[in-house]
Amino acid sequence: MTPILFLILLFASVPIAFVLALTALWYIYDSGNLVLYDSYAQQIFSGVENYGLLAIPLFILTGELMNEGGMTQRLVRAARVFVGGFRGGLAYINLLANMFMAAIIGSAASQIAVMSRAMVPAMTKEGYDPGFSAATTAAGGLLAPVIPPSMLFVIYGVLAQLPIGDLFIAGIIPGLIMAAAFFVVVALIGLAQDFPAGEWMTLTQAARALRDALPAFLIPLAIVGGILFGIATPTESAAVASLIAFAVGWLIYREIDPRDLGRLFVRTATNSSLVIFMIAAANVFGWVVVYEELPQKLAAFISTVTSDPFTFLLIVNACLLFVGMLIDGIAALILVTPILLPIAVNTYGINPFQFGVVISLNLVLGLLTPPVGVGLYIASAMSGVRPFTIFTALWPFLLAVAGVLILLSYFPILSTALI
Amino acid sequence: MLHRASHFWARVEIFLAAALAASITGLILLNVVTRAAGNAIYWVDEAAIYAMVWMSFLAASAAIHYRSAISVTLINEVLPDHARRWLTRFVDLVLFVFACLMVWICLRWFMPWQLMQAGWDVKAFQGQTFNFIYAEPTNTIGIRKVWIWLVMPLFTLGALLHATANLFHPGRAAQVEAAE
């Protein structure tokens, strides 16, 4: 009965946090373990009483501040210095600027929103196919949750009880591989289509573009550097990054006003609460998972199919691609981590960092696949290109990500080398 | 009337949540500065965590009013208008039931009647109920944890208000409001 109730509520579009909380309430009733009701509210509370989660509002705030503070255009111009002169220059600029942004923003959805607005009109104006422009931008957004900082890694780290700083570092090599794969995809498409010619900047223009973007580069430096050298926790780096973003936007670029801060904090509070409340509810839902021994049962079933970790990861990838198509990536991560992680680590001996990188990247792919591809709709809304048109231009990128996923599943060293 | 009360309370919740978001940023930055100066303040981390929990639950309650929480809208989107309205009403009803259950759960946890019967004497209350909620301390802040836990009944009452108002005020009004 519990699974049926869960599915009915979920597909009746009851908010996911309440689906989790109500399923747990029903399960307690069903199992007769009524004493659990006494600690139910306390359990929800303690689910988010966690230092690591503080990074979520802070990273959201940094993204908002950066958005308002005029850093996006400057990063795009800085990217132009490096790749602007190649044939198809703007497509490469798009990807490179997405890499810079990914080192500041931790969420694919917000990065796709920002970049679609900035890049797609510019690309179509220079004669690129609109579908291709929007698809390149949307694919570039997938770098956000892999290149640190990453909201998904914060959530996975809290659920898996792993150090979030190490998870961030684990994402660096996979993020670079993914970016390289996207550059190859764009180059291959360029062989088939005739991209507009690019133009190199003059030396003075290049120097000015780099100087303008320099303050913006402080942010990734503060985040990654702080964590890499053990100076600050990810939470503290996020706070410092938000302070830098505010100071640069206010004092240097002069595009942000302290009076805007109230509005930004409202958006920060509402957006981060959506995620944190879901994690709170997942904590009581965890009772269902634990008492029903879901991981053990699933493990017993899967281990009759294969004993090979790589095959297991392939099966997980296939299942999660399907899950990611139906459910929001963060919600899906909250749902599947408590079930799949014990199997991956205990039954198959998979490194938890590798597992986190693989499932996070996998679930975020769901942002760009119909029917529930939020990222697709955001890119469409921001760029004015129809979702279907974007999707048809997107498949080479999706194929590339699938390839990267297989690579990451086969070689654990790609995720664990830097830790 | 009920809807206006719900709307007003949602705005209060969002205002408080935003203020708490600001204080989280301030507290963590304070921690960075004081630690760099070799003089870390020990209670800052715990205070920041509680500020975050309060922020999350207050804004989560307001999200019921704005109908803005994340859900799987797969079926919702393919339904004809008429059926979709019924589905939305069903969701409103489910949230109302949840809010009522939370009231009951908070009563089981805080046991206000039993505390009153014990003459507000916490020791006597604990002896009778073996419920130690009023004795639990916080680690570093120096107040009883029950003050922090109060966000749960606050969330519950907010959720109940918004869910009830939504029952009597169906449709897209709240979403339009949020968009504005």
SS3 of B98-121: HHHHHHHHHHHHHCHHHHHHCCCC
Confidence bin at B175 (pLDDT 50/70/90)? very low
Q: Could you tell me which residues come within 8 angstroms of residue A330 by beta carbon, excluding any fewer than 6 positions away?
A: A151, A152, A155, A275, A278, B70
In a 10 Å sphere around its CB, with 0-12 CB exposed, 13-18 middle and 19+ buried, how is residue A177 labelled? middle
Q: In this complex, do B60 and A232 lie within 8 Å of one another by their Cβ atoms?
A: no
Q: What is the mean pLDDT of residues A194-202?
A: 83
This model's pTM is above 0.95: no
Q: How many CA atoms lie within 13 A of B118 on its CB side?
A: 18
Q: What is the mean pLDDT of residues A3-28?
A: 93
Tell me the nearest-neighbour CA distance from A71 into chain B, angstroms: 21
Q: Is the CB of residue A347 less than 8 Å away from at least one CB of chain B?
A: no
Residue A291: the pLDDT is 82
Confidence bin at B172 (pLDDT 50/70/90)? low
Which residue in chain B has the smallest CA separation from A325? B74
pLDDT in tens, A285-335: 888 888 888 888 888 888 888 889 999 999 999 999 888 887 778 888 998
- Residue among A41, A53, A232 minimizing CB distance to B106: A41
Structure tokens belonging to residue A287: 């009772």
Selected residues 300-329 of chain A with any CB under 8 Å from a CB in chain B: 326-328
CA-CA distance, B60 to B43, in Å (whole number)?
Answer: 26
B113 pLDDT higher than 90: yes
Whether the CB-CB separation of A277 and A17 falls below 8 Å is answered with yes
Q: What is the mean pLDDT of residues A65-85?
A: 85
Q: Is the CB of residue A11 less than 8 Å away from at least one CB of chain B?
A: yes
Q: Is the CB of residue A256 less than 8 Å away from at least one CB of chain B?
A: no
Residue A386: the pLDDT is 87
Q: Is the CB of residue A371 less than 8 Å away from at least one CB of chain B?
A: yes
pLDDT in tens, A232-272: 888 998 899 899 999 999 999 898 999 989 999 999 999 99
Q: Which of A267, A265, A347 is nearest to A309 (CA)?
A: A347
Mean pLDDT over the full length of chain B: 90
Q: Is the CB of residue A64 less than 8 Å away from at least one CB of chain B?
A: no
Q: Could you tell me which residues come within 8 angstroms of residue B37 by beta carbon, excluding any fewer than 6 positions away?
A: none
Tell me the nearest-neighbour CA distance from B118 into chain A, angstroms: 20
Structure tokens belonging to residue B14: 């969002």
Q: What percent of chain A has pLDDT over 90?
A: 46
CA-CA distance, B23 to B47, in Å (whole number)?
Answer: 9
B180 pLDDT higher than 50: no
Q: Is the CB of residue A369 less than 8 Å away from at least one CB of chain B?
A: no
Q: In this complex, do A50 and B71 lie within 8 Å of one another by their Cβ atoms?
A: no
Q: In this complex, do A45 and B149 lie within 8 Å of one another by their Cβ atoms?
A: yes
Residue A232: the pLDDT is 83
Q: A-B interface: how many C-beta pairs under 8 angstroms?
A: 177
Q: In this complex, do B22 and A39 lie within 8 Å of one another by their Cβ atoms?
A: no
Cβ contacts (< 8 Å) between A50 and chain B: which residues?
49
CA-CA distance, A99 to A104, in Å (whole number)?
Answer: 9
Burial B43-52 (b: 16+ CB within 10 A, else e): ebbbbbbbbb
Confidence bin at B179 (pLDDT 50/70/90)? very low
Q: Could you tell me which residues come within 8 angstroms of residue A211 by beta carbon, excluding any fewer than 6 positions away?
A: none
Angle between helices A387-410 and A172-192 (to 10 degrees): 130
Displacement of CA A16 from its chain's centroid (Å) = 19
Q: Is the ipTM beyond the 0.90 threshold?
A: yes
Q: Could you tell me which residues come within 8 angstroms of residue A205 by beta carbon, excluding any fewer than 6 positions away?
A: none
CA-CA distance, B133 to A360, in Å (whole number)?
Answer: 38
- Residue among A10, A22, A49 minimizing CB distance to B53: A49
Cβ contacts (< 8 Å) between B58 and chain A: which residues?
273
Q: In this complex, do A240 and B152 lie within 8 Å of one another by their Cβ atoms?
A: no
- Residue among B52, B74, B149 minimizing CB distance to A276: B52
Cβ contacts (< 8 Å) between A265 and chain B: which residues?
18-19, 21-22
pLDDT in tens, B147-160: 999 999 999 999 99
Residue B178: the pLDDT is 45
- Residue among A42, A273, A371 minimizing CB distance to B63: A273
B173 pLDDT higher than 60: no
Displacement of CA A233 from its chain's centroid (Å) = 20
Mean pLDDT over the full length of chain A: 89
Structure tokens belonging to residue A143: 């770098």
Structure tokens belonging to residue B28: 């963590």
Q: Which of A355, A399, A401, A326 is nearest to A142 (CA)?
A: A401
CA-CA distance, A358 to A157, in Å (whole number)?
Answer: 13
Which has more confidence, A35 or A290? Answer: A35
pLDDT in tens, B50-92: 999 999 999 999 999 999 888 887 788 888 988 998 999 999 9
pLDDT in tens, A338-391: 999 999 999 999 999 999 999 999 998 888 887 767 788 888 888 888 888 898
Residue B171: the pLDDT is 64
Residue A192: the pLDDT is 85
Q: In this complex, do A44 and B73 lie within 8 Å of one another by their Cβ atoms?
A: no
Q: Could you tell me which residues come within 8 angstroms of residue B144 by beta carbon, excluding any fewer than 6 positions away?
A: B134, B135, B136, B137, B138
Tell me the nearest-neighbour CA distance from B53 into chain A, angstroms: 7
